Amino acid sequence: MRRPFFYGWIVLGAGAACYGFGISPAYYGWGVLAPAIAGDLGLDRGEVGGVFGLFNVLSQCVGFLVGISIARFGLRPVMVAGFGLTALGMLHLAGAESVVDCYVGFSLLAGLGVGGSTLVPCQTLAQNWFLRRRALAIGLTFTAGAIVGAGVPPAAVAIGDWREAWRVAAGLATVLALVAVLLVRDTPEQVGQVRDGAAPEWPSAEAALRAAAGEWRAAHAVRTPQFALLLGCGLAYAMPWSALVTHLPLHFDDAGYATAAVAGFISAMVLCSSGGRLLGAAGDWLPPQYVLAGALAVEGLGAGLVLAAEQPAVAGVAVTLVGLGFGVAYTSVPVVFSHFFGRRSFSVTAGVRLTLTGAVASLAPWLSGELFDATGSYTAPFLGLMAVGLAGAACAAALRHPGAPPVPMA
């Protein structure tokens, strides 16, 4: 008898759309529109950076509250509320008359809204619906962010007026709220299916996994040494990426590259991260912690190699390593979390991870700048970033499955 169509593919498409179109306009649009905003409102460079920095911190540090809310209310209402906040923030930003309005609209409202609707919810959706293809599902979701992000700068330029661009972003967030209402379902059990679309009577891999390890409670998972090591892994991919995205243009400019060449290197790094997110699907066939270890080592080595970027070929290899390593690690960390601790505690454990690592990783660009100002060189910060990546690789290589939880979830 032919099995019915697996609704998880619809959910995966909806989740990828919500992630890509939910996070990319804010994350990639601010920098493109910042010169026009600064010119109209009289913002200086510090204020431009401060608005985006606070947005970045809030969008990640809200993760713990988002995870708790998902566990309490479910994915759909949390995502709808997040997109609603994003729309309000973008509308407020579109009418901004001062830097305070930018902080309120973009940093606060949009930051909380983007964090509430994309980072934790979309990866939770992917791992809720897939098991054997879990890494591929999460990788496809994250890849949407890079693909849509590549189209944001030309779209913003085509719109022309920065106020109109943020109004368009507000309308897009409203559409995504409707997508969440119409298409998102928290788990396959809600529509009478099981993960991966297997027949309910099959002794699936999920049943074997539960029999061997069970489902962890978040309160127990966060106390394990595996959780602590995974926090280190999260920092090891986030710190080099956030610092290099900020400082590589300046470093390449110091090396004598033309503006177009600098933009090309950064675009290549982002595109390589897109491919890396898909390559993270290797965690479906290999132990995902070892895939993560290799990715962090590659990213770390790339961070060190950019010090020799005076040669274009070396610069190209460096940004390729950084992009690929980051992309694979970005997919692999949530895959390892799901593999170790199960499905039902995922939103909470992921939220705690993003809150803690987001707060610390956001310091990396500032610390790198301070070290450059103190030494007149990027040698110390970039070597430090390489050390962070390699230390994270060692943490990932040391990971072992925690086994059965002390108190399995019902």
Give domain limits for the chain: 8-197, 214-397
Count the neighbouring beta carbons within 10 Å of the beta carbon of residue 165. 25
307-363 per-position pLDDT tens digit: 998 889 999 999 999 999 999 999 999 899 888 988 778 888 888 888 888 888 877
Tokens of 374: 């103190």
Distance CA 125, CA 18 (A): 11
Give the per-residue pLDDT at 408.
Answer: 58
**Angle value at C-alpha 65, between 63 and 47, nearest 5 degrees:** 60
Instruction: Report yes or no: 136 and 281 within 8 Å, Cβ to Cβ.
Output: yes
Give the separation between CA 136 and CA 115, rounded to whole angstroms: 22
- For residue 318, what pLDDT is reported? 95
pLDDT category at 212 given cuts 50, 70, 90 is very low
* pLDDT tens string 246-272: 778 778 878 888 877 877 787 788 888
* Of the listed ranges 23-37, 99-113, 134-148, 156-170, the one predicted with least confidence: 23-37
* Angle (nearest 5°) at CA 217 between 215 and 218: 125
Tell me the two tokens of residue 274: 């897109």
Q: Are 227 and 349 in contact (CB under 8 A)?
A: yes
Q: Is the pLDDT of residue 208 over 70?
A: no
Decide whether 8-197 matches 214-397 in CATH topology: yes
CATH class of 214-397: mainly alpha
For the segment(s) 8-197, the CATH number from 3.30.450.20, 2.30.38.10, 1.20.1250.20, 2.60.120.620 is: 1.20.1250.20
CA distance 106 to 104: 6
Distance of alpha carbon 298 from alpha carbon 3, whole angstroms: 42
d(CA 182, CA 228): 37
- pLDDT digit string, tens, across residues 113-146: 999 999 889 988 888 898 888 888 888 898 888 8
CA distance 213 to 400: 13
List pLDDT tens digits, range 219-244. 888 899 999 999 999 999 999 988 88
Average pLDDT, the chain: 86
Query: pLDDT band for position 56 (50/70/90)?
Result: confident
pTM of the model: 0.79
**Cα(141)–Cα(345) distance, integer angstroms:** 20
d(CA 318, CA 341): 34
